């Protein structure tokens, strides 16, 4: 599979001294929409991945910007703000559970990186303050993000049994959701499929990697296979559309398709391949990733190889020409994951 070259041009263009802008109007940063912890956490993961394969020199400023943003957005009690206006005012009192979970994932990734000791220590401090709230998470995705962060943290501190226990506690909760909802024709954690679905099985594959408990990989494989059955149609990846999503017993929505779903499913399939050594999952990861490269229901390129940006998704009529932070950094993260998974 010929992967497009990695380009950071657009990532740099939509990042200022504060952080990465949440949205763009076509390809121009939309300052009116400000910044989010969600997107800066995602960007920190992607650029940390980039630094591990390319060296730190091209990534240093971006890493510092995104890490500093997370530090700024953390309240004294460890909870996170999510929204920051262009004039640097908080515009929420408390961010969502997903935003807190993504912060844990990003900081865990930095803790287990080859970045400087100072950055790793700062990420650990943010993580430790934020994690005290993870036990209150209700969102399955927030739990999955936290598990992904814990898994990386555990790789750096392998002898810390508290980390292992926390992975098990959160993973067991996902299994509880799964048991309560699962049926023969609906192998999922909730009675609906919505956004970033791949992160749930991905988290359980990573939980298995760290704990070697077979129950996690069993549910990870079963739920991922269900996602693949639903979203691979005629050998093309067709993400669940965000106009109606897919509710159990109802027709699934085809549009609008979002780049974030293609990225999360690519990474979930690669996690499955690493833990099972089943090459079918690697083939699936390539099929899913090809959605960005024109093999989709509109036969259009979602990735812009000229600038390194990624369009937000596909509508029933055409591309969504806006190129926001979420789409661009999630594409970059999945693109690097494909390159580094042998």
CATH of the domain at 85: 1.50.10.10
- Residues of the domain holding 110: 9-340
CA distance 18 to 164: 35
Phi, psi of 338 (to 5 degrees): -65, -40
Instruction: Please report, rounded to a whole number, the percentage of residues in the chain having pLDDT higher than 90.
Output: 93
* Average pLDDT value for residue range 45-50: 96
* C-alpha separations of 271 from 104, 180, 286 in Å: 19, 25, 13
Question: pLDDT tens, 66-78?
Answer: 999 999 999 999 9
Question: pLDDT tens, 91-121?
Answer: 999 999 999 999 999 999 999 999 999 999 9
Question: pLDDT tens, 188-218?
Answer: 999 999 999 999 999 999 999 999 999 999 9
What total of structural domains would you count in the chain?
A: 1
192 located within any domain: yes
46 located within any domain: yes
pLDDT at 56: 60
Using CA atoms in the order 303, 308, 311, 313, what is the torsion angle rounded to 10 degrees? 50
54 located within any domain: yes
31 located within any domain: yes
| Average pLDDT along the chain | 96
Predicted confidence band of residue 185 (pLDDT cuts 50, 70, 90)? very high
Hey, is 167 helix, strand or coil?
Answer: helix
58 has a pLDDT exceeding 80: no
* Average pLDDT value for residue range 263-287: 98
């Amino acid at each position: 599979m010929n992967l497009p070259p990695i380009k950071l041009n657009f990532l740099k263009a939509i990042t200022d001294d504060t952080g990465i802008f949440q949205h763009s109007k076509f390809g121009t940063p939309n300052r009116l929409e400000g910044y989010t912890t969600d997107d800066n956490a995602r960007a920190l993961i992607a650029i940390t991945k980039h630094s591990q394969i390319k060296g730190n020199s091209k990534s240093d400023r971006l890493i510092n910007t995104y890490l500093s943003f997370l530090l700024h957005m953390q309240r004294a009690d460890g909870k996170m703000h999510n929204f920051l206006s262009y004039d640097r005012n908080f515009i929420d009192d408390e961010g969502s559970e997903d935003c807190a979970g993504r912060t844990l994932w990003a900081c865990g990734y930095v803790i287990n990186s080859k970045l400087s000791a100072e950055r790793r220590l700062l990420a650990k401090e943010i993580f430790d303050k934020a994690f005290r709230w993870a036990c209150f998470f209700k969102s399955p995705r927030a739990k999955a993000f936290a598990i992904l962060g814990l898994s990386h943290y555990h790789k750096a501190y392998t002898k810390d049994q508290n980390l292992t226990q926390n992975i098990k506690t959160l993973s067991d909760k996902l299994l509880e959701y799964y048991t309560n909802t699962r049926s023969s024709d609906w192998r999922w954690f909730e009675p609906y499929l919505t956004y970033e679905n791949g992160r749930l099985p991905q988290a359980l594959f990573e939980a298995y990697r760290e704990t070697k408990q077979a129950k996690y990989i069993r549910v990870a494989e079963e739920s991922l296979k269900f996602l693949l059955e639903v979203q691979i149609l005629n050998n093309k990846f067709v993400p669940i559309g965000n106009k109606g999503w897919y509710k159990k017993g109802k027709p699934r929505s085809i549009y609008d398709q979002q780049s974030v779903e293609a990225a999360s499913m690519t990474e979930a399939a690669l996690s499955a391949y690493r833990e099972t050594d089943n090459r079918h999952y690697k083939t699936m990861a390539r099929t899913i990733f090809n959605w960005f490269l024109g093999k989709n229901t509109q036969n259009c390129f979602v990735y812009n190889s000229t600038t390194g940006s990624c369009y937000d998704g596909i509508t029933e009529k055409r591309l969504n020409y806006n190129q926001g932070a979420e789409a661009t950094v999630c594409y970059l993260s999945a693109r690097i994951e494909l390159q580094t998974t042998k």
